[in-house]
Amino acid sequence: MRLRSLPVKAINICEQSSGRRIISIAPTMPLNVLVVGAGVCGPAFASLLQSSNPKHNITVIERSPSLRIAGQQIDLKAQGTPIVRSMGLLDEVWQHRVEETGMEIVDSNGNALARFGVNDSSKGERRNLTNEYEIMRGDLIKVFQEASLRRREQLKQQGETEGSMTYEFGKTITTLDQCDDAAEVTFSDGQKKTFDLVVAADGQASKTRRQVWGGEVSDASLHSLGAYAGFYSIPRGPADSAFAKIYNTTGKRYIMTRNGNRPKTQVYLWDLKHTEELRKLDKEPVEKRHRFWADNYKDAGWEAERFLEGLKTTDDWYSCEIAQVKLKELHKGRVVLLGDAGYGPSVFTGMGTTSSLFGAYVLAGELARNPNNIKGALNMYEEKLRPHIEEAQKVGGNFGLFPDSKLGIWLMRKALWIISSLKLDSLATSVMPEQKGEVEIPVYPELNLPVVS
Ligand SMILES: Cc1cc2nc3c(=O)[nH]c(=O)nc-3n(C[C@H](O)[C@H](O)[C@H](O)COP(=O)(O)OP(=O)(O)OC[C@H]3O[C@@H](n4cnc5c(N)ncnc54)[C@H](O)[C@@H]3O)c2cc1C
Ligand SMILES: *[C@@H]1O[C@H](CO)[C@@H](O)[C@H](O)[C@H]1NC(C)=O
Ligand SMILES: *[C@@H]1O[C@H](CO)[C@@H](O)[C@H](O)[C@H]1NC(C)=O
Ligand SMILES: *[C@@H]1O[C@H](CO)[C@@H](O)[C@H](O)[C@H]1NC(C)=O
Ligand SMILES: *[C@@H]1O[C@H](CO)[C@@H](O)[C@H](O)[C@H]1NC(C)=O
């Protein structure tokens, strides 16, 4: 019989400034990993990591008491689509897709000033032309979370006894101490646990980023694009069509609605004027924020009254500053930032979801490729992600419809699939000078994904 070498585990003792000692063992695969945030990329990363090695213990904690399925239409594009395809989940995403017929710019009477639409003759072709998958945020999160749990169940049935996939809701990190090889976490329920790696996927306002990088660095990492947005849904009205509608009024205010084939109407309120004020309100109760938007939009015209009435009873209000997250380093010791928490490109780029998935894929891939070398894996993750972040965070261009308006640029990008479907290729190219999705997706056979790309 041949002698098999056993993994060597080094013992580390690490003294904290508080005088507390953390005793840890340098990890060999499999790992004990904590994912903070069950948004878009948290469950996607958990799923990818599990696929690479079912013996990992993966815990995902989420601040909300259940999956936070709020949020409006988001989309997969560029690298996002092939990554989800490689996970074997693209068909499921397709089944949840939102069908949108086109886009109208409307006046205060709701009449179309301009219309970008798809006519019947081009039906059925448009999605292929831009490779874009529109889906409600809540549906996408559920696809990833359910896939990770379904796979766990399969593994158990196949006799896998090691490893785990656990989601814990209503839970946050209270303190996080770390040394080279481990992170010791105290949770809001008082529980204490040591992890080989903490993956912060807790969104643009990441508390983990603040805890580990400090308030000053964390605040400075948020680069405002000078706008705020409030997203929510209301009952569908008789005039709401499958067209997205955009209404521009005085005071740097924009209202957008979208329905697609959905029973509810999505309302987007955009404010390009009160960034400072709204930032302060972020720390206030949601009622106060609602009051601000209601006061500020009551004279906006069009159907503002109906939209504000709906604000009173909506159950999925979400607002955020339109900002990009930029940090010199995406990891510190055994804590790594993923998705919006580390490099959110902002809604204006339309790349938030795709970027968060690109990161999830590369992080899981590098961890699989560099077993027993988490530090090396984290360095490679940063190195491979940088060109993509640069690409995703580009906000540029200057288009005729909304001159010098970043919002206009974003809207034009959203409308690109419509332009493409009309086969106005030259227009599409002139409207979108920098194509996204040029950065190649690394190939990781180590991820053992169901679909080989
Ligand atoms: C409620 C909500 C609605 C959104 N709606 C839209 C939208 O309509 N359109 C759009 O383009 N983008 C929207 N976004 C942003 C979009 O989801 C992201 O840009 C993108 O999908 C990348 O996601 P992410 O996984 O990095 O972060 P997110 O999707 O933001 O997920 C972060 C998750 O972490 C959780 N979390 C936060 N803090 C903690 C903590 N301290 N401890 C534990 N968990 C925590 C949050 O509850 C959330 O579930 C929304 C985000 C949220 C949270
Ligand atoms: C995973 O959890 C189980 C049960 O708590 C434990 O026995 C095992 O050692 C853990 N594995 C890792 C890699 O931490
Ligand atoms: C639809 O598009 C076709 C081809 O571009 C065009 O010939 C036709 O007139 C359009 N129909 C309508 C109703 O706009
Ligand atoms: C377009 O996309 C659909 C759905 O993904 C697919 O079934 C079809 O084959 C695609 N068509 C082309 C021409 O690629
Ligand atoms: C929006 O409307 C205002 C007021 O009518 C106008 O001054 C402004 O130029 C418009 N902005 C865009 C981007 O069209």
Q: What is the pLDDT of residues 356-412, one digit of tens each?
A: 999 999 999 999 999 889 999 999 999 999 999 998 887 654 333 344 455 565 565
Q: How far apart are CA 41 and CA 141, in angstroms?
A: 8
Reading the block at residue 229, the tokens are: 């947005």
* Residue 249 CA, closest ligand 5 atom number: 2
Indicate which residue's Cα is closest to atom 12 of ligand 3. Answer: 119
pLDDT for residue 24:
55
Answer whether 103's CB lies under 8 Å from 117's CB: yes
- pLDDT one-digit tens code per residue, 140-186: 999 999 999 999 999 999 999 999 999 999 999 999 999 778 999 99
Does the Cβ of 71 fall within 6 Å of ligand 1?
yes
Dihedral angle sign, alpha carbons of residues 335, 339, 341, 342: positive
The closest residue, in CA terms, to atom 12 on ligand 5 is 402
What residue's CA is closest to ligand 2, atom 14?
32
The alpha carbon of 422 and the centre of ligand 3 are apart by a number of angstroms equal to 9
Helix (H, G, I), strand (E, B) or coil at 120: helix
pLDDT of residue 433: 42
First to last CA, the chain: 39
**Going by CA atoms, what residue is nearest to atom 12 of ligand 2?**
32
Helices marked H in 13-59: 41-52
- Whole-model pTM: value is 0.86
Q: Whose CA is nearest to atom 13 of ligand 2?
A: 31
Tokens in use for 371? 């077993």
Is 185's C-beta closer than 6 angstroms to any atom of ligand 2? no
Would you give the DSSP letter of residue 97?
B
Q: Which of 118, 119, 419 to mutate to test the pocket of ligand 3 (most atoms within 8 A of CB)?
A: 119
Atom of ligand 5 nearest to the CA of 408: 13
Q: Which residues of 398-436 are buried (b: 16+ CB within 10 A; e: fewer)?
A: ebebbeebbbbbbbbbbbbbbbbbbeeeeebeebbeeeb
With contact defined as beta carbons under 8 Å apart, do 244 and 103 qualify?
A: yes
Determine whether the shortest distance from the Cβ of 30 to ligand 2 is under 6 A. yes
Domains of the chain plus CATH, in order, are 32-447 (3.50.50.60)
Helix (H, G, I), strand (E, B) or coil at 246: strand
Q: What is the pLDDT along the chain (453 residues), one digit of tens a residue?
A: 333 333 444 555 555 656 666 555 555 689 999 999 999 999 999 999 999 999 999 999 999 999 998 878 888 888 898 999 999 999 999 999 887 777 777 889 988 876 665 444 444 334 332 346 888 899 999 999 999 999 999 999 999 999 999 999 999 999 999 977 899 999 999 999 999 999 999 999 999 999 999 999 999 999 988 889 999 999 998 888 878 888 888 888 889 898 877 889 999 998 888 989 999 998 899 899 999 999 999 999 999 999 999 999 999 999 999 899 999 999 999 999 999 999 999 887 778 999 999 999 999 999 999 988 999 999 999 999 999 999 888 765 433 334 445 556 556 555 554 444 444 444 444 444 445 667 889 999 999 998 754
Q: How far apart are CA 149 and CA 446, in angstroms?
A: 20
Ligand 4 nearest-atom number relative to CA 128: 1
